[in-house]
Amino acid sequence: MIVAGNWKMFDGPDPSTVLAVDGVEVIVAPPYTRLRDCVAAGLTTYAQNVHWEPEGAYTGEVSPRMLADLGVHGAIVGHSERRQYFGERDTYVARRAEAALTAGLGVIACVGETQEERDNGDTATVLRVQVEAVASVCGEHERLVLAYEPVWAIGTGKTATPELAQEAHALIKTLLDRPVLYGGSVKPDNAEELMAQPDIDGALVGGASLDVESFAAICQAAARSTS
């Protein structure tokens, strides 16, 4: 099981307070200003984004090589907030993922539908397009992990039912046979039921990862789901 905490644009907790949990790969994804602190604390540390070029005139971006030089282990790509607020396209997500993997980093590639797309019955089509964009350039790379995050459940307090989440994860795995995390208002009180589903391989946690006790409880729920 994998549990990744996305701190988004928050300073986050003291890295020394984030504890390992047996049977769970615990990842933290702090803002760029906290990457060095998290690496120094011995945490498996991912950036929240990465560019596809090793260097160049790309203001505001960070390259895979730069992250690797810091001791960072990987990067999230294609998060719904990147897609929504910064116009991130599927082709860009795929290029970021490919470059990071080529540089030896791990990747969590995010996919998911909006409320409108779900209401229109387009969930399967959206997931197919997004996953196949990554699969076409990365294949079943051993360091590639996917995250299903229904956009309508990000920061809204809404959560897909375990049955809905399982259905989406099962579909994604028919398209690309890699681990798939669930992301969408994961909290201690729903984590265990979600991660008990057969095709859910962990969680990408947002707000709840900013509280050390909540994040630890989710990691412990993940550990129980494997026992």
Measure the CA–CA gap between 174 and 212, rounded to whole angstroms: 35
Task: For residue 27, give the nearest of 69, 96, 73 by alpha carbon.
Answer: 73
CATH number at residue 199: 3.20.20.70
Total domains in the fold of the chain: 1
Report the pLDDT value the prediction gives residue 2, as an integer from 0 to 100. 98
**CA angle 37–41–42, rounded 5-degree value:** 125
Crossing angle of helices 212-225 and 188-195, rounded to 10°? 20
Q: Mind telling me the catalytic residues?
A: 79, 149
Instruction: Tell me the pLDDT of the chain averaged across its residues.
Output: 96
Measure the CA–CA gap between 207 and 136, rounded to whole angstroms: 32
Is residue 199 within 8 Å of 225, Cβ to Cβ? no
Is residue 125 within 8 Å of 166, Cβ to Cβ? no
pLDDT tens-digit series, residues 69-104: 999 999 999 999 999 999 999 999 999 999 999 999
CB 42: neighbour CB atoms within 10 A? 11
pTM (two decimals): 0.96
pLDDT tens-digit series, residues 104-158: 999 999 999 998 999 999 999 999 999 999 999 999 999 999 999 998 877 677 7
Query: Region 61-74: what's the mean pLDDT?
Result: 98
Domain that holds residue 162: 2-225
Report the pLDDT value the prediction gives residue 163, as an integer from 0 to 100. 94
Report the pLDDT value the prediction gives residue 184, as an integer from 0 to 100. 86
pLDDT tens-digit series, residues 186-226: 999 999 999 999 999 999 999 999 999 999 999 999 999 98
